[in-house]
Structure 1
Amino acid sequence: MTGIVNTAQAEAWNGYEGEHWATNADRYDAVNSGFNHYLLDQVGLTDRVLDIGCGNGQLTRLAATRARSVTGVDLSGPMLATARARAAESPNVTFEQGDAQVHPFPDGGFDLAVSRFGVMFFADPVAAFANIHRALSAGGRLAFLCMTALSGTDLGRLFGAMAPYLPQPTGPDGSGPTSFADPDRTKAVLTEAGFEDVTCTHVEADQVWGHDVPDAAKFIAGWGPVRHHLGLVDPKTAAEATGALTAALEEFAKPDAVRLRGTAWLVTGRRS
């Protein structure tokens, strides 16, 4: 990689977190792919697209079927290895390992920057989006998905069930994965970074977390933030938290899968 300023995230995504996402690429796509169309609808045939926090590359590959070229950038070596292998037959796709906050993108090299839940962890979000703004052509567009506040959501109910035993695994709303849960803050960050016409639209999609309740509970317990907090408590408390999670998942069990209704902000902006 070139420069990195987000060292804690680099360690996580090149350690257990990245390995877990790479090993379970299809499962994480089942969680998030219902949101793909919100971003793919932004892609035009002549666009040069930048996919920020591309992960295992599903959105990158799909965008490449609609765009002139697509470049995916991510901190995670394990996920980029998966992404490259799966895009081997896509000649207009390239991947780069780097920190989007400081990565030396070509000035004006892209017409559209997209991200599926990959922009919430910047150490300095204004600097990161200013760097992305610089990488866009005149009139270039930005479109990304980020988590809403967890209160009142299906995922929030699961975390609430574990709350007597664990702190909220994602941290308080407004930090970590929910760092852009407040649209006013999001608009302020992007405006300071140079973007115009910033909008935040609430969107929803089904998320498949497992084929049955035990499978979903095991997968969620292995998800980085939850696994980390389970490791901070004694085995008895961890078992109680996992039991509460399993019980809470029962209401979301369908005949074919465990499905939660996911919520997100679709954020768009433009370089003047």
Structure 2
Amino acid sequence: MAELFDYDAELRRYHRRLLDEMFVSPDDHVLDIGCGAGQTTRAAAGLAVRGSALGVDVSPAMVARARRLSADEGLRNVRFEEADAQVHPFAPAHFTVGISRFGTMFFADPIAAFTHIGRALAPGGRFVQLVWQDSRRQEWATAIHHALVGDDSPVPRATEKPFSLADPATVHGILTTAGFTDIQIIDVREPICLATDPEVAVDTVRVLRMVGDELARLDADGTERALERLREVMAAHSTGDGVWFDSRAWLITAHR
């Protein structure tokens, strides 16, 4: 189920925001961390017409899909690798631009990972990434929590992935220690689309840890009641263009 989820559709508004900040030139060599199905990598390749773009992701299914889509578009300056950016042997100082759309919050050791990625960037190379803000600032997380617990209790602050980079001071410290400079962290607010219809949206969020953990604590009747409340929430946020929720992210730029 998770592999079939269309992250490109979910993050379509954030995709535009990232494109506006990438500033990829025709001669750039771009590294895309956590590329998923390769939408951002292909966009970068389309701008780096005399350069190249490499997308890496740990999901073999996503990498396979990215390769198929790139072949369909006839792109010749883009490639994809099934790889963990934390340890993959990138060519040193090769890439002039690094990008990531919600792909850097899952590192086991963020300082080591960003240091490793930094070594792959040429001196002066620019790194642009999007990461989620605090879970309590996500309408989707708040709505799902209230549906599962059945009341208006405060949403607990999540510090685990994918919210591990939600604190700007922590991010600034990590990137500074990893050798990055000129760090800027900008507040970005865009809606996300969970699915085309409410029932699919329920199936989609059931793969999230926050949902699975809560449902695991319930008996059969409690689970059914929680799922019914979840269906009602998704229906309330359904439009003719999908099931939409507000969200907040940080747009982070830095230089090597």
Identify the TM-score tier after normalising by the shorter chain.
0.7 to 0.9
Amino acid at match of 1:79: M
Gaps of 5+ in 2: 151-155
Answer yes or no: is 1:247 the counterpart of 2:232.
Answer: yes
Q: Which residue in 2 is equivalent to 1:81?
A: 64
Question: Counterpart in 2 of 1:104?
Answer: 89
C-alpha displacement of 1:228: 6.1
Further displaced range: 250-259 or 187-196: 250-259
What TM-score, normalized to structure 1?
0.83
Q: 1:237 aligns with which of 208, 222, 228?
A: 222
TM-aligned CA distance change 1:213 to 1:163, over 3 Å: closer
Q: CA deviation at 1:233?
A: 4.2
SS in 1 for 2:248: strand
1:37 to 5, 16, 28: 16
Equivalent residue in structure 2 for 1:137, among 101, 119, 122: 122
For the residues of structure 1 that align with 2:224 and 2:89, how far apart are their CA atoms? 46
- Looking at structure 2, the residues matched to 127 and 62 of structure 1 have their Cα atoms a distance apart, in angstroms, of 28
**116, 119, 122: which is aligned to 2:104?**
119
**In 1, distance between residues paired with 2:46 and 2:220?**
48
- Cα displacement (A) at 1:129: 0.2
**One-letter code aligned to 2:15:** N
Aligned pairs (5 A) from 1:114-263: 114-164=99-149, 172-223=157-208, 226-227=211-212, 230-231=215-216, 233-263=218-248
Cα RMSD, aligned residues only? 2.3
Tell me if structure 2 keeps the 8 A contact 1:21–1:28: no
**Paired residue for 2:39?**
58
After superposition, the Cα gap between the structure-2 partners of 1:78 and 1:115, relative to the gap in structure 1 and judged at 3 Å, is same
Contact in 1 for aligned 2:188/2:251 (Cα 8 Å): yes
Whether the 8 Å contact between 2:10 and 2:195 is mirrored in structure 1 is: no
- Displacement, 1:268? 0.8
Aligned in 2, Cα 1:97/1:269: closer, same or farther, shift over 3 Å? same
Q: Aligned to 2:89, what secondary structure does the other structure show?
A: coil
SS, match of residue 263 in structure 1: strand
**How many angstroms does 1:163 deviate by?**
4.5
* Residue aligned with 2:149, SS: coil
Q: Is the 8 A contact 1:207 1:260 kept in 2?
A: yes
Residues 73-103 of structure 1: per-residue CA shift (max 9 Å, x gap)? 1111111111111111211111112211111
For 1:60 and 1:256, how far apart are their aligned partners in 2?
25
Question: How far apart are residue 206 of structure 1 and its match?
Answer: 2.5
Identity over aligned residues, as a percent? Answer: 37
Deviation, structure 1 residue 139: 0.3
How far, CA to CA, are the matches of 1:77 and 1:98 in structure 2? 9
